A = this chain, B = another copy of it.
Amino acid sequence: MADINIIELAKDLNLSKSTVSRAFRNNSGINKETKERILARARELNFTPNHHASNLRIQKSNTIAVIVPEIANNFFSKAINGIEQVAKKNGYSVLICLTDDEFEKEVSFVQNLSNGKVDGIIMSVSGEEQDHSYLKMLQKKNIPLVFFDRVYEDIETAKVTTNDYESSFLATEHLLQQGCKRIAYLVVNKNLSIGKTRMQGYLDALDKYGIETDDNLVVDCSNELTQNISILSDTFSKLRPDGVFASVERLAIATYYTCMELNISIPEQVKVIGFSGLEIAPLLNPALSTIIQPAYNMGLEAADVLFKILADDETKADFATRKVVLNSELIQRKSSAVGTM
Protein backbone atom coordinates (compact mmCIF):
# COMPACT_ATOMS: atom_id res chain seq x y z
CA MET A 1 0.00 0.00 0.00
CA ALA A 2 3.07 2.21 0.03
CA ASP A 3 2.20 2.81 -3.58
CA ILE A 4 2.71 6.35 -4.68
CA ASN A 5 1.57 7.87 -7.92
CA ILE A 6 2.44 10.88 -9.95
CA ILE A 7 -0.22 13.01 -8.30
CA GLU A 8 1.00 12.45 -4.80
CA LEU A 9 4.55 13.06 -5.88
CA ALA A 10 3.40 16.28 -7.49
CA LYS A 11 1.65 17.40 -4.31
CA ASP A 12 4.69 16.51 -2.28
CA LEU A 13 6.74 18.79 -4.50
CA ASN A 14 4.15 21.53 -4.88
CA LEU A 15 4.03 21.04 -8.59
CA SER A 16 1.47 19.88 -11.07
CA LYS A 17 1.47 16.31 -12.24
CA SER A 18 2.24 17.40 -15.79
CA THR A 19 5.48 18.96 -14.69
CA VAL A 20 6.38 15.85 -12.80
CA SER A 21 5.50 13.74 -15.79
CA ARG A 22 7.76 15.84 -17.95
CA ALA A 23 10.67 15.15 -15.68
CA PHE A 24 10.55 11.52 -16.71
CA ARG A 25 10.49 12.24 -20.41
CA ASN A 26 13.56 13.63 -22.14
CA ASN A 27 12.15 15.81 -24.85
CA SER A 28 9.75 18.03 -22.98
CA GLY A 29 10.64 21.58 -22.12
CA ILE A 30 11.27 21.65 -18.42
CA ASN A 31 13.55 23.55 -16.16
CA LYS A 32 16.75 21.67 -15.47
CA GLU A 33 16.58 22.36 -11.78
CA THR A 34 12.97 21.40 -11.24
CA LYS A 35 13.67 18.26 -13.18
CA GLU A 36 16.56 17.43 -10.89
CA ARG A 37 14.45 18.17 -7.86
CA ILE A 38 11.67 15.92 -9.10
CA LEU A 39 13.93 13.03 -9.99
CA ALA A 40 15.74 13.29 -6.69
CA ARG A 41 12.53 13.15 -4.71
CA ALA A 42 11.26 10.34 -6.91
CA ARG A 43 14.33 8.31 -6.17
CA GLU A 44 13.82 8.88 -2.47
CA LEU A 45 10.28 7.64 -2.67
CA ASN A 46 11.07 4.86 -5.12
CA PHE A 47 8.71 6.31 -7.63
CA THR A 48 8.75 5.66 -11.32
CA PRO A 49 5.76 6.06 -13.60
CA ASN A 50 3.34 3.14 -13.75
CA HIS A 51 3.90 1.05 -16.83
CA HIS A 52 0.33 0.26 -17.70
CA ALA A 53 -0.85 3.80 -17.33
CA SER A 54 1.82 5.19 -19.59
CA ASN A 55 1.59 2.32 -22.01
CA LEU A 56 -2.12 2.86 -22.26
CA ARG A 57 -1.60 6.51 -22.84
CA ILE A 58 1.19 6.28 -25.38
CA GLN A 59 -0.15 3.11 -27.01
CA LYS A 60 3.15 1.34 -26.81
CA SER A 61 4.50 -1.38 -24.58
CA ASN A 62 8.25 -1.28 -25.10
CA THR A 63 8.06 -5.03 -25.10
CA ILE A 64 8.60 -7.59 -27.81
CA ALA A 65 7.74 -11.26 -27.81
CA VAL A 66 9.84 -14.17 -28.92
CA ILE A 67 7.81 -17.20 -29.88
CA VAL A 68 9.84 -20.38 -30.27
CA PRO A 69 9.19 -24.12 -30.16
CA GLU A 70 11.52 -24.68 -27.24
CA ILE A 71 14.19 -23.04 -25.18
CA ALA A 72 16.19 -25.86 -23.60
CA ASN A 73 18.07 -26.10 -26.81
CA ASN A 74 21.37 -24.80 -27.95
CA PHE A 75 20.12 -23.05 -30.99
CA PHE A 76 17.11 -21.27 -29.59
CA SER A 77 18.71 -20.25 -26.33
CA LYS A 78 21.56 -18.61 -28.22
CA ALA A 79 19.19 -16.91 -30.61
CA ILE A 80 17.13 -15.59 -27.71
CA ASN A 81 20.33 -14.38 -26.13
CA GLY A 82 21.05 -12.33 -29.23
CA ILE A 83 17.54 -10.96 -29.33
CA GLU A 84 17.62 -9.97 -25.69
CA GLN A 85 20.87 -8.10 -26.10
CA VAL A 86 19.42 -5.94 -28.83
CA ALA A 87 16.19 -5.45 -26.95
CA LYS A 88 18.01 -4.36 -23.82
CA LYS A 89 20.03 -1.86 -25.81
CA ASN A 90 16.79 -0.41 -27.17
CA GLY A 91 15.16 -0.23 -23.78
CA TYR A 92 12.77 -3.04 -24.54
CA SER A 93 11.69 -6.08 -22.55
CA VAL A 94 11.44 -9.56 -24.00
CA LEU A 95 8.53 -11.90 -23.49
CA ILE A 96 9.27 -15.59 -23.99
CA CYS A 97 6.60 -17.85 -25.44
CA LEU A 98 7.27 -21.57 -25.81
CA THR A 99 4.97 -23.37 -28.17
CA ASP A 100 6.38 -26.81 -27.34
CA ASP A 101 6.14 -27.27 -31.09
CA GLU A 102 2.36 -27.19 -30.93
CA PHE A 103 0.60 -25.04 -33.48
CA GLU A 104 -2.38 -24.37 -31.22
CA LYS A 105 -0.13 -22.80 -28.61
CA GLU A 106 1.50 -20.67 -31.27
CA VAL A 107 -1.90 -19.36 -32.33
CA SER A 108 -3.00 -18.77 -28.80
CA PHE A 109 0.16 -16.84 -27.99
CA VAL A 110 -0.22 -14.63 -31.01
CA GLN A 111 -3.83 -13.91 -30.20
CA ASN A 112 -3.01 -13.15 -26.63
CA LEU A 113 -0.26 -10.77 -27.66
CA SER A 114 -2.22 -8.82 -30.18
CA ASN A 115 -3.88 -6.42 -27.78
CA GLY A 116 -1.07 -4.09 -27.11
CA LYS A 117 0.90 -6.38 -24.88
CA VAL A 118 3.84 -6.27 -27.29
CA ASP A 119 4.98 -3.93 -30.04
CA GLY A 120 6.42 -6.65 -32.21
CA ILE A 121 6.99 -10.36 -32.50
CA ILE A 122 9.94 -12.51 -33.46
CA MET A 123 8.99 -16.08 -34.19
CA SER A 124 10.30 -19.45 -35.23
CA VAL A 125 7.21 -21.32 -36.36
CA SER A 126 5.74 -24.69 -35.52
CA GLY A 127 2.85 -25.28 -37.87
CA GLU A 128 3.90 -25.39 -41.49
CA GLU A 129 1.06 -27.52 -42.67
CA GLN A 130 -1.57 -25.41 -40.91
CA ASP A 131 -3.63 -22.41 -41.85
CA HIS A 132 -1.63 -19.25 -41.28
CA SER A 133 -4.35 -16.72 -41.81
CA TYR A 134 -4.43 -16.04 -38.10
CA LEU A 135 -1.32 -13.95 -38.64
CA LYS A 136 -3.27 -11.46 -40.72
CA MET A 137 -4.50 -10.04 -37.47
CA LEU A 138 -1.03 -8.83 -36.63
CA GLN A 139 -0.84 -6.86 -39.82
CA LYS A 140 -4.21 -5.29 -39.11
CA LYS A 141 -3.12 -4.32 -35.65
CA ASN A 142 0.18 -3.05 -36.96
CA ILE A 143 2.32 -5.44 -35.00
CA PRO A 144 5.41 -6.24 -37.02
CA LEU A 145 6.51 -9.85 -37.32
CA VAL A 146 9.94 -11.25 -38.00
CA PHE A 147 10.50 -14.93 -38.68
CA PHE A 148 13.78 -16.63 -37.99
CA ASP A 149 15.09 -20.05 -38.87
CA ARG A 150 11.72 -21.73 -39.24
CA VAL A 151 9.47 -19.64 -41.43
CA TYR A 152 6.14 -19.81 -43.21
CA GLU A 153 6.81 -19.54 -46.92
CA ASP A 154 3.32 -18.25 -47.61
CA ILE A 155 3.55 -15.33 -45.23
CA GLU A 156 5.19 -12.25 -46.63
CA THR A 157 7.15 -10.74 -43.76
CA ALA A 158 10.72 -10.18 -42.61
CA LYS A 159 12.75 -13.37 -42.42
CA VAL A 160 16.15 -14.27 -41.05
CA THR A 161 17.42 -17.66 -42.10
CA THR A 162 20.59 -19.54 -42.91
CA ASN A 163 21.80 -20.98 -46.18
CA ASP A 164 20.34 -24.38 -45.40
CA TYR A 165 20.28 -25.71 -48.91
CA GLU A 166 23.94 -24.98 -49.58
CA SER A 167 25.05 -26.25 -46.18
CA SER A 168 23.19 -29.49 -46.62
CA PHE A 169 24.51 -29.93 -50.10
CA LEU A 170 28.05 -29.40 -48.86
CA ALA A 171 27.61 -31.67 -45.87
CA THR A 172 26.30 -34.45 -48.05
CA GLU A 173 28.97 -33.85 -50.62
CA HIS A 174 31.53 -34.04 -47.85
CA LEU A 175 30.28 -37.46 -46.80
CA LEU A 176 30.29 -38.60 -50.41
CA GLN A 177 33.83 -37.42 -50.85
CA GLN A 178 34.78 -39.36 -47.77
CA GLY A 179 33.58 -42.43 -49.57
CA CYS A 180 30.04 -42.88 -48.27
CA LYS A 181 27.61 -44.57 -50.65
CA ARG A 182 24.55 -45.06 -48.48
CA ILE A 183 23.89 -41.87 -46.61
CA ALA A 184 20.93 -41.63 -44.29
CA TYR A 185 19.21 -38.29 -43.90
CA LEU A 186 17.66 -37.82 -40.47
CA VAL A 187 14.85 -35.33 -40.09
CA VAL A 188 12.33 -34.52 -37.40
CA ASN A 189 9.53 -33.33 -39.58
CA LYS A 190 9.78 -33.75 -43.30
CA ASN A 191 6.98 -31.30 -43.82
CA LEU A 192 8.74 -28.36 -42.26
CA SER A 193 10.22 -26.20 -44.96
CA ILE A 194 13.50 -26.25 -43.15
CA GLY A 195 13.55 -30.02 -43.26
CA LYS A 196 12.56 -29.93 -46.91
CA THR A 197 15.20 -27.41 -47.85
CA ARG A 198 17.90 -29.33 -46.10
CA MET A 199 16.68 -32.53 -47.66
CA GLN A 200 16.80 -30.99 -51.09
CA GLY A 201 20.46 -30.16 -50.59
CA TYR A 202 21.01 -33.76 -49.59
CA LEU A 203 19.12 -35.11 -52.58
CA ASP A 204 20.83 -32.85 -55.06
CA ALA A 205 24.26 -33.77 -53.75
CA LEU A 206 23.45 -37.45 -54.12
CA ASP A 207 22.23 -36.74 -57.60
CA LYS A 208 25.37 -34.87 -58.53
CA TYR A 209 27.42 -37.87 -57.54
CA GLY A 210 25.17 -40.24 -59.39
CA ILE A 211 23.89 -41.97 -56.31
CA GLU A 212 20.43 -43.45 -56.48
CA THR A 213 18.09 -42.15 -53.80
CA ASP A 214 16.72 -44.72 -51.37
CA ASP A 215 13.57 -43.38 -49.74
CA ASN A 216 14.13 -45.58 -46.74
CA LEU A 217 17.31 -43.72 -46.01
CA VAL A 218 15.30 -40.60 -45.33
CA VAL A 219 14.41 -41.29 -41.73
CA ASP A 220 11.65 -39.45 -39.95
CA CYS A 221 12.53 -39.12 -36.29
CA SER A 222 10.95 -37.47 -33.26
CA ASN A 223 12.05 -35.05 -30.59
CA GLU A 224 12.44 -37.76 -28.01
CA LEU A 225 15.81 -39.39 -27.46
CA THR A 226 14.73 -42.91 -26.53
CA GLN A 227 12.29 -43.00 -29.38
CA ASN A 228 14.96 -41.83 -31.78
CA ILE A 229 17.40 -44.42 -30.58
CA SER A 230 14.87 -47.10 -31.30
CA ILE A 231 14.07 -45.69 -34.72
CA LEU A 232 17.75 -45.44 -35.57
CA SER A 233 18.58 -48.89 -34.25
CA ASP A 234 16.03 -50.16 -36.66
CA THR A 235 17.46 -48.16 -39.53
CA PHE A 236 21.00 -49.22 -38.79
CA SER A 237 20.26 -52.91 -38.56
CA LYS A 238 18.04 -52.97 -41.60
CA LEU A 239 19.74 -50.54 -43.95
CA ARG A 240 23.35 -50.43 -42.83
CA PRO A 241 24.04 -46.86 -43.90
CA ASP A 242 27.69 -45.90 -44.15
CA GLY A 243 26.96 -42.23 -43.60
CA VAL A 244 24.51 -40.21 -41.53
CA PHE A 245 23.52 -36.63 -42.06
CA ALA A 246 21.54 -35.31 -39.10
CA SER A 247 19.41 -32.31 -39.99
CA VAL A 248 19.23 -31.18 -36.35
CA GLU A 249 21.50 -31.49 -33.38
CA ARG A 250 19.45 -33.92 -31.34
CA LEU A 251 19.51 -36.42 -34.17
CA ALA A 252 23.29 -36.35 -34.29
CA ILE A 253 23.26 -37.08 -30.59
CA ALA A 254 20.75 -39.86 -31.04
CA THR A 255 23.01 -41.31 -33.72
CA TYR A 256 25.93 -41.36 -31.32
CA TYR A 257 23.87 -43.09 -28.65
CA THR A 258 22.59 -45.62 -31.13
CA CYS A 259 26.05 -46.41 -32.43
CA MET A 260 27.28 -46.77 -28.88
CA GLU A 261 24.51 -49.23 -28.10
CA LEU A 262 24.93 -51.21 -31.28
CA ASN A 263 28.69 -51.10 -31.11
CA ILE A 264 28.96 -49.45 -34.45
CA SER A 265 32.14 -47.46 -34.71
CA ILE A 266 32.22 -43.92 -35.98
CA PRO A 267 33.76 -43.11 -38.44
CA GLU A 268 35.01 -46.54 -39.47
CA GLN A 269 31.63 -48.13 -40.03
CA VAL A 270 29.52 -45.04 -40.38
CA LYS A 271 30.49 -41.41 -40.86
CA VAL A 272 28.40 -38.76 -39.18
CA ILE A 273 27.81 -35.07 -39.71
CA GLY A 274 25.06 -32.91 -38.34
CA PHE A 275 23.69 -29.45 -37.83
CA SER A 276 24.81 -28.45 -34.35
CA GLY A 277 26.11 -25.56 -32.38
CA LEU A 278 27.55 -27.57 -29.52
CA GLU A 279 30.71 -26.01 -28.16
CA ILE A 280 31.81 -29.45 -27.17
CA ALA A 281 31.50 -31.14 -30.53
CA PRO A 282 35.30 -31.50 -30.57
CA LEU A 283 35.16 -33.30 -27.22
CA LEU A 284 32.77 -35.99 -28.28
CA ASN A 285 33.93 -39.51 -28.90
CA PRO A 286 34.68 -39.18 -31.73
CA ALA A 287 34.74 -35.42 -32.39
CA LEU A 288 31.59 -34.56 -34.31
CA SER A 289 31.69 -32.93 -37.72
CA THR A 290 29.18 -30.11 -37.64
CA ILE A 291 27.38 -27.49 -39.60
CA ILE A 292 27.16 -24.56 -37.23
CA GLN A 293 24.33 -22.11 -37.61
CA PRO A 294 25.15 -18.62 -36.33
CA ALA A 295 22.39 -18.79 -33.75
CA TYR A 296 23.39 -15.76 -31.71
CA ASN A 297 23.83 -13.64 -34.80
CA MET A 298 20.50 -14.75 -36.16
CA GLY A 299 18.93 -13.45 -32.97
CA LEU A 300 20.83 -10.21 -33.33
CA GLU A 301 19.76 -9.79 -36.94
CA ALA A 302 16.15 -10.67 -36.30
CA ALA A 303 15.95 -8.16 -33.48
CA ASP A 304 17.74 -5.54 -35.53
CA VAL A 305 15.25 -5.88 -38.32
CA LEU A 306 12.35 -5.71 -35.90
CA PHE A 307 13.61 -2.53 -34.30
CA LYS A 308 14.22 -0.99 -37.70
CA ILE A 309 10.56 -1.60 -38.45
CA LEU A 310 9.49 -0.26 -35.08
CA ALA A 311 11.59 2.84 -35.62
CA ASP A 312 8.91 3.78 -38.09
CA ASP A 313 10.92 6.04 -40.36
CA GLU A 314 11.03 6.02 -44.17
CA THR A 315 12.95 2.76 -44.32
CA LYS A 316 10.30 0.91 -42.38
CA ALA A 317 8.55 -0.63 -45.36
CA ASP A 318 11.86 -1.78 -46.65
CA PHE A 319 12.59 -3.77 -43.51
CA ALA A 320 9.08 -5.12 -43.11
CA THR A 321 9.77 -7.65 -45.83
CA ARG A 322 13.51 -7.84 -45.43
CA LYS A 323 15.14 -11.20 -46.08
CA VAL A 324 18.42 -11.88 -44.32
CA VAL A 325 20.35 -15.04 -45.04
CA LEU A 326 23.32 -15.86 -42.86
CA ASN A 327 25.88 -18.52 -43.62
CA SER A 328 26.42 -21.63 -41.60
CA GLU A 329 29.88 -23.08 -41.26
CA LEU A 330 30.89 -26.64 -41.96
CA ILE A 331 33.59 -28.05 -39.73
CA GLN A 332 35.05 -31.45 -40.48
CA ARG A 333 36.11 -33.52 -37.54
CA LYS A 334 36.85 -37.12 -36.81
CA SER A 335 33.28 -38.40 -37.09
CA SER A 336 33.46 -38.04 -40.83
CA ALA A 337 37.13 -38.75 -41.32
CA VAL A 338 38.56 -41.38 -43.61
CA GLY A 339 40.30 -44.35 -41.99
CA THR A 340 41.35 -44.30 -38.38
CA MET A 341 42.76 -41.03 -37.31
* Residue ranges of A at the interface with B (Cβ–Cβ < 8 Å): 1-3, 46, 48-53, 55-56, 61, 63, 70-74, 77-78, 80-81, 84-85, 88, 93-98, 105, 111-112, 114-117, 137, 140-142, 225, 253, 256-257, 260, 278-280, 282-287, 296
Contacts and interface: CB of A to CB of B under 8 A. Distances in A.
A84 B98 contact: yes
**Number of identical protomers:** 2
Contacts of A116: 50-52
B81 A140 contact: no
Given A93-B117, A115-B48, A72 B141 contact: no
29 contacts: A3-B141, A46-B140, A48-B111, A48-B112, A50-B56, A50-B115, A52-B53, A52-B56, A52-B61, A52-B116, A52-B117, A56-B56, A63-B95, A71-B80, A71-B81, A72-B80, A73-B77, A84-B97, A88-B105, A93-B117, A94-B95, A94-B97, A95-B95, A256-B280, A257-B282, A257-B283, A280-B280, A280-B284, A285-B286
A130 to B, nearest CB: 18
Nearest to A299: B72
Contact of A94 (B61, B96, B253): B96
Contact of A51 (B3, B117, B253): B117
B81 A88 contact: no
B84 A77 contact: no
Nearest to A94: B96
